[in-house]
Every structure is written in C-alpha cells, then in structure tokens.
Amino acid sequence: MSGLKNRLEKSKKIVFLTGAGISQESGIATFRGKDGLWQRYDPMKFASIQAFIDNPKLVWNWYNDRRREMLVANPNLGHIAIANLQNYRHVSVVTQNIDGLHQRAGSRDVVELHGNIFDTKCTKCDFKSTMKSEFFDLQICKSCGSYLRPDVVWFGEGLKQEIWNEAVIHSMNCDMMIVVGTSLTVSPANSLLLYAKRNHATLVELNPANSPYSDEMDFCIRKTATEGLPTLFSIFGTI
C-alpha cells in the first residue's frame, strides 16, 4: 500500500469510475452477485425499451419503487471520502449509478453515464423534466401526449454522445483512476479504464471481489467502499 500512497501523493487529477457497489452500503441493491436486482428481476422485462413498450405501467412503477429507495438512502463514507478529496486533488467522478448519491455527498464534477433516475423524458418529443420527491403514476407528455419514461440508459440503448465524450476525456487525462464497486461487465463503461491505462494512469480497483479487469490493475484493494476509501485518503488527514 505504501507504493499506492506514494502515487496518491504525486497524483494531480484523479478519476473515479464507480458502480452499484459504492451505493450498496447506503442500502441500495447492486445488480449482480447473490442479492443482486438481476437475480430477482429480468432486466429485459424492466430495463429495456421493449419492456416499456410492452408494459409501460409495470416498468414505470418499478422505477418508482427504486426512486423511493434512492431518495431515502444517504451518501455513505465512501461517497463522502470522494467528495472530500476535492479539497486536495482535482477529482472527477464517472458513475454508472443513477441514484445521485455522489452529488448529494458534495462531488461537483460527476458524469452520469447511465442517466439519473429522477430525470424523465418523453418517448416521442424532446420534452424533459426532473422529478422532485413526489412519485406520480405513469405520466403523459404535456406537449405531445406520449408516455414519459425514466431518462436512464436501458439495455440495448446507447449512451448520450456528449456524456460519453466527457467520460473519455476525463479518463484520458487523469494520472490515477480508482475503480470502485463495479463488476466491469457492462460496456462501454468498462473500456474507460483502458483509456486511462493508455495515458499511463495508475489503476486502482476497490472491490471486495475480483473483476474481469483485476489483472489490468496496478493495485487491488479487497475492501468495501466505506472501509477502503477513508483509509486510502488518510494521508491527507481524516477526510
């Protein structure tokens, strides 16, 4: 770990690539692994455009349940450590999560690859809106009368080009990428660490389990987010 602390001390721009695991200790279910969402729900029936076309009410209500879960969740010590690191380094967060917890912890530069569960958009026109706390039933677009849907990336859909470009630019310009709480099984998110590697960035994986990219990492910390992140940044004092 001393090698990592030396690199951390020398680092200037740190990019975090995060997934569902960083929110697990906030009480939000991950997708894979023993209690994962996809063990209980078929993603093709709840997180795809065809699912929404086939049964918009089922999909909308499923996202309502997840919105409620995310609204009552709080950022954990992992989210907070990343936000506090902004006092010592240039920090960007590229997250696959749609829960908004990085922003609620105080992270200012957050790229949401897969969108945000509180954003909605029309299935036909370019109407968009952001929900506050209330949860309504399936909504009809005020301007064209079509269904509103969660403004998140579903299976089979591409990422917004401007979002992807921003994530790639961060990954190509960092000297350290810390990958926290992701199985790295979904593309193109999992390719971002290869952009960082090409830029000779130090790659760190913080995850209690291995991932398909563990061998690419310079350092692997087999701890949870709330165990590993505050300790890692203890060189900057208790952050």
Task: List interacting residues with ligand APR (CB under 6 A).
Answer: 19-22, 24-25, 30-33, 36, 96, 114, 181-183, 185-186, 207-209, 211, 224-225
**Could you tell me the sign of the dihedral formed by the alpha carbons of 11, 85, 113, 122, in that order?**
negative
- Residue 133 or 161: the one with the smaller Cβ distance to ligand APR is 161
- Residue 141 or 182: the one with the smaller Cβ distance to ligand APR is 182
- Residue 20 or 91: the one with the smaller Cβ distance to ligand APR is 20
How far apart CA 26 and CA 215 sit, in angstroms, is: 28
As measured in angstroms, the least distance from the Cβ of 189 to ligand APR is 7
The answer to whether the beta carbons of residues 67 and 136 sit under 8 Å apart is no
Catalytic residue among 79, 102, 114, 170: 114
| Known catalytic residue at 114 | yes
**Cα 119–chain centre separation:** 15
In sequence order, what E strands does 49-97 have?
90-95
As measured in angstroms, the least distance from the Cβ of 108 to ligand APR is 21
Closest residue to ligand APR, based on beta-carbon distance: 21
The answer to whether the beta carbons of residues 24 and 95 sit under 8 Å apart is no
**Could you tell me the sign of the dihedral formed by the alpha carbons of 101, 103, 104, 105, in that order?**
positive
- Residue 41 or 127: the one with the smaller Cβ distance to ligand APR is 41
As measured in angstroms, the least distance from the Cβ of 223 to ligand APR is 7
Residue 30 backbone phi and psi in degrees, to 5: -80, 180
List active site positions.
114
